[in-house]
Structure 1
Amino acid sequence: MNIKLAKNYGFCFGVKRAIKIAESTQNASTIGPLIHNNEEIMRLKKNFNVETLEDISHVSGTKKAIIRTHGIPKQDLQFLKEKKVDIIDATCPYVTKPQKICEKMSKEGYDIVIFGDEMHPEVKGVKSYASGKVHVVLHVSELAALKLSARVAVVSQTTRKVEEFKEIVSYLISHYKEVRVFNTICNATFENQDAARELSKESDVMVVVGGKNSSNTKQLLHISKEFCSDSYLIESERELEASWFEGKEQCGITAGASTPDWIIKKIIEKISNFKV
């Protein structure tokens, strides 16, 4: 069986930056998981004593706090400042961008529409920077129920599919007088999704590697399944099953933006040793 990696996959700029910050800081705590990859989080804890606080209320006694790649709500950042915690900001610059846009446009009187998952930490943070009316939608069908003013500004969660964002934008433009559109989908997301799409078209089986709570990884799985029904999402080589590869000739592998190379190498090694 031939094993082929996607043209673009794995660690994005923002995640690489956050990992370097955590490794150089050491003996610190992150507010929420630094990235959506449990294996890498455990490595940082073991080798660099980087702990994870699941909630801002657990910050008592913390001297150094690393802001996760997804960012945190504006009020939580203020809370850390009031507690005199040494703040190390590892928020991805691509996430900081929609935060600033929402803050600016809401001050100028625009209603804000955020395309994304309202429960995702990135969206929670972005939403907190809007001082006026702000709505979070995941599907174009949700827009009809919104009561928006004539002036609307729309941004996207950085890891969403561009095709779906276009649907949101198209609806808003056709229903409202003034719509400011800010394409805040990360370039790495575009590239990884395109590469997964192309590889899945020529594969008998696809393995998508990444955190199961990672938005961009789940998008890769969804795209892969469109063209290759035998597509699987795993976090480590321990989840691989030999039966997935029986009778297959072409195995494609892609990985989410929070997946380090050392995990991908282990997965390739184990697949290579399967007798299929």
Structure 2
Amino acid sequence: MKVRLAKSFGFCFGVKRAIKIAEKSRGGVTFGALIHNQKEIDRLRHSFGVKLVQTLDEVDGGDQVIVRTHGIPKNDLMALRQKNVSVTDATCPYVTKPQKIVEEMSAQGYQVIIFGDMTHPEVKSVMSYSSTPAIVVGSLDELIDTKIPKRVALVSQTTKQTEKFIEIAHFLIRNAHETRVFNTICNATFQNQDATRELAQEVDVMVVVGGLSSSNTKQLFSIAKEYCPDSYLIEDEKDLNKEWFLGKKICGLTAGASTPDWIIQNVKRAIEAL
């Protein structure tokens, strides 16, 4: 098999930064999963002694606590800083941006609307910065029957598709007296999605590598599937199926922003060996 890599893929700036922080901690504790890639989390635990906790009660005095890239609720961050622990905030700068916007807009009386997945940790962290309850929608359809306040402020989960964000923005502009729109989709997401869209139209089969719980990886897979029906989402080379490649000549390969290069290279070598 011939393998063509997307022009942009893999670790983004925020993830690279968080990984370096965790490696330097040598036995640090991450509050929540640092990134959405279990295999990289396992590597950090085995090679650098980095532990994982999910609640404040699990944090012990003297711990070096690292806040996950997706951020954590505002109250949890405040409670951590009040404990006798060292806190390093590895929240991606592209996530702290909507946090600050939501805090400011809600304080000015705007109804905050977040385009994203309410169950995602990033969205939970951003929601917590609103002084009034935020409205979270996963699509335009979810907004159609919602009573739109006069003044609204729109932000997005950093890994969402731009086209769908624009649809929601247009709807709000038409239906609210005043709409403030803040494009908080990160540059790496733009680049990876555009590169996936381009590559998927030029290959026979497409493989997307990333954690199954990773939002940005799911978005890449959705885009790949739209342009190349024979697209598959895997976590590593062990998930590959030889039957996917029967009668195919060129395989496109891309990866989510939480996927380490060592996994991508393992997948590439395994496909080339078919």
Alignment TM-score, normalising by the size of structure 2: 0.97
> How much has 1:253 moved relative to structure 2?
0.1
SS of 2:268's partner is: helix
Task: Quote the residue 2:241 is aligned against.
Answer: 241
**Distance in 2 of aligned mates of 1:36 and 1:11:** 11
The root-mean-square deviation of aligned C-alpha atoms, in Å, is 1.1
| Alignment of 1:253 onto 2:253 | yes
Task: Quote the residue 1:204 is aligned against.
Answer: 204
Alignment TM-score, normalising by the size of structure 1: 0.97
**Distance in 1 of aligned mates of 2:61 and 2:83:** 10
The sequence identity of aligned pairs, in percent, is 58
The verdict on how the C-alpha distance between 1:62 and 1:237 changes in structure 2, with shifts beyond 3 A counting, is farther
Task: Quote the residue 2:125 is aligned against.
Answer: 125
The verdict on how the C-alpha distance between 1:37 and 1:62 changes in structure 2, with shifts beyond 3 A counting, is farther
Task: Quote the residue 2:192 is aligned against.
Answer: 192
**Distance in 1 of aligned mates of 2:187 and 2:150:** 30
**Distance in 1 of aligned mates of 2:160 and 2:102:** 17
Deviations 1:231-260 (A, max 9, x none): 111111111111111110110000000111
Say how many residue pairs are matched: 274
Task: Quote the residue 1:31 is aligned against.
Answer: 31
Aligned ranges 1:61-72 → 2 under 5 Å: 61=61, 63-72=63-72
**Distance in 1 of aligned mates of 2:212 and 2:104:** 33
| Alignment of 1:167 onto 2:147 | no
Structure 1 gaps, min length 5: none
Task: Say whether the 8 Å CA contact 1:9–1:192 is kept in structure 2.
Answer: yes
> How much has 1:2 moved relative to structure 2?
1.6
> How much has 1:118 moved relative to structure 2?
0.2
The verdict on how the C-alpha distance between 1:62 and 1:255 changes in structure 2, with shifts beyond 3 A counting, is farther
Aligned ranges 1:1-276 → 2 under 5 Å: 1-61=1-61, 63-274=63-274
Greater Cα shift, 127-136 or 210-219: 127-136
Task: Say whether the 8 Å CA contact 1:106–1:133 is kept in structure 2.
Answer: no
The verdict on how the C-alpha distance between 1:62 and 1:165 changes in structure 2, with shifts beyond 3 A counting, is farther
SS of 1:254's partner is: strand
Task: Say whether the 8 Å CA contact 2:71–2:122 is kept in structure 1.
Answer: yes
Task: Say whether the 8 Å CA contact 2:61–2:85 is kept in structure 1.
Answer: no
Task: Say whether the 8 Å CA contact 1:209–1:255 is kept in structure 2.
Answer: yes
**Distance in 2 of aligned mates of 1:237 and 1:61:** 40
SS of 2:154's partner is: strand
> How much has 1:84 moved relative to structure 2?
2.2
Greater Cα shift, 100-109 or 131-140: 131-140
**Distance in 2 of aligned mates of 1:55 and 1:9:** 32
Task: Say whether the 8 Å CA contact 1:29–1:62 is kept in structure 2.
Answer: no
**Distance in 1 of aligned mates of 2:11 and 2:20:** 12
Kindly provide the amino acid, as one letter, of the partner of residue 51 in structure 1.
Answer: K
Task: Say whether the 8 Å CA contact 2:62–2:84 is kept in structure 1.
Answer: no
Deviations 1:175-219 (A, max 9, x none): 001000000000000000000011110111111000000000000
The verdict on how the C-alpha distance between 1:159 and 1:62 changes in structure 2, with shifts beyond 3 A counting, is farther
> How much has 1:82 moved relative to structure 2?
2.4
SS of 1:133's partner is: coil
Structure 2 gaps, min length 5: none
